[in-house]
Amino acid sequence: MTTEAEPAPAGAAGPDDAEVGRRFAAGEEQALAWAYERWAAQVHGMAVRAFGPGPDAEDVTQQVFVSAWTGRAGYRPEQGPLPAWLTGVCRHKIADTWARRDRQRRATEAAVAELNAAPAGGPAPVDSTVADRVLLLGELDRLGQPQRGIIELAFFADLTHTQIAERTGLPLGTVKSHIRRTLERLRDRLEVDGAALHA
């Protein structure tokens, strides 16, 4: 199901997007170059929105394409367009960067506290939302369709269940029950593993 595919910009002659996706999955090197021509600006734009323009956004953009290429076995062309998959990879990289910064922040604070021989007030607090995001994005990857497409439209496209039903052609009741079941599944994952993570 298409949730977030953008058409290739005009002027990019070559095979259509679906063909680029199939060749990418098959490991054809030219397909990585085409994917970059068509969707690097979209990926970089997301990274700029998260980190502002500069080295961080550029690093995330590089990581997305390197990771997508080395992990191309995880891309199934029949399950959705390549740009939507790249967007998902980009979400992971943004969340990972936040989590890494949070770890660095805590390590720095711990080192400073040690230097100042401050009374141990326990470890610095974990920003649990940062860890929650990494965990939940991983769980989203495990959802089948149409559940995943539905919940992504709710989370990332800010659509109401009525709009999602219109967009997907699924009955209203089906959309509502998928939303409910997926939210409960994600909640369970958080409450079981999130608790262990933050312990």
Partner 1 sequence: MPHCTPEDLGLAALGEPLADDEAAHLADCAACRGEVARLRRVVDALAVPELAAPGPAVAPPPGLWAGIAAATGVAAAPRADVVAASAPAAGPVPDVVPEPLPAPLPAEPAGPMAPVVPLRSRRSRLLLAAAAALVAGLGIGAGAVALATRGDDGVPVAATVLDPLDGSDASGRAEVVERADGTRVLQVELSAGAPTEGYYEAWLLDESVSGLIPLGVVRAGTEEFELPAGLDLGEYPVVDVSVEPLDGDPAHSGVSVARGLLDA
Told to check if 126 binds partner 1 by CB under 8 A, we report no
User: Cβ closer to partner 1: 119 or 158?
Assistant: 158
Q: Enter the tokens of residue 160.
A: 């109401």
Nearest approach in angstroms of CB 77 to partner 1 is: 19
User: Cβ closer to partner 1: 6 or 22?
Assistant: 6
Among 17, 132, 165, 168, binds partner 1 (CB under 8 A): 132
Helix axes 17-25, 29-51, angle to 10 degrees: 100
Residues 25-54 that bind partner 1 (CB under 8 A): 29-30, 32-34, 36-38, 40-46, 48-54
Phi-psi group of 9: left, alpha or beta (phi > 0 → left; psi -120 to 50 → alpha; rest → beta): beta
DSSP state, residue 11: T
Residues 56-85 that bind partner 1 (CB under 8 A): 56-59, 61-63, 65-67, 69-70, 83
- 3-class SS shares of the chain: helix, strand, coil, % to 5: 75, 0, 25
